[in-house]
Amino acid sequence: MDPASFTREQLADCGAGHLFLPDSPRLPTGQMLMFDRVTHISAKGGAHGRGEIRAELDVRPDLWFFQCHFTGDPVMPGCLGLDALWQLVGFYLAWQRHPGRGRALGVDEVRFFGQVLPSARVASYRLDIRRVVTRRLIMAIADGEVLVDERPIYTAKGLRVGVFTDMGAFQETDT
């Protein structure tokens, strides 16, 4: 039985390719990993009954992005919250043992109506899986939400992440 939660150390193991299968999608490592723990993951439940993930980032004033975005007006870039949601969709596919390299494929709608400041305590991420496609393309589609200290600040609908065993489609070509 797979665990329903994961520590920062286990998430680092996922980034190194040691948590699931060797060819599973990997999380970013180091500072680009945008959450400290997965507090809950399930293949059932969520708003669509197809799975859910909950994760958290401990917000500290010394986080790297506060030092450079923006000088004198520190705030977590909205794109990093969005990236955290994509990371979690990819983690869900790895947790389900789908092989390949994960890539964000898009999002249908994003709304920002708050921000993460250095004074916050916790940024939380909630994902509800809408669908997992397991044909030639393996892809998960989810809706997500970012909260700061339990208050919603972003929503994202139609987050898409695919896993690919043949990365040829992503190679640069000379035109």
pLDDT of residue 3: 86
pLDDT, tens only, 115-163: 999 999 999 999 999 999 998 889 999 999 999 999 999 999 999 999 9
What percent of the chain clears pLDDT 90, i.e. is strictly above it?
89
Catalytic residues: 69
Cα distance between residue 144 and residue 84, in whole Å: 10
Instruction: Give, as one character, the DSSP assignment of residue 14.
Output: H
pLDDT, tens only, 88-123: 999 999 999 999 999 999 999 999 999 999 999 999
| Residues 172 and 136: beta-carbon distance below 8 Å | no
Which two structure tokens, joined as six digits, stand for 159?
């987050």
From residue 127, give the alpha-carbon distance in Å to each of 25, 60, 68.
18, 23, 28
Domains of the chain in sequence order:
8-170 (3.10.129.10)
Average confidence score pLDDT of the chain:
94
From residue 5, give the alpha-carbon distance in Å to each of 56, 77, 132.
11, 26, 20
Is residue 1 over pLDDT 60? no
| Upper half-sphere CA count for residue 42 (Cβ side, 13 Å) | 13
pLDDT of residue 137: 87
Instruction: Give, as one character, the DSSP assignment of residue 87.
Output: H
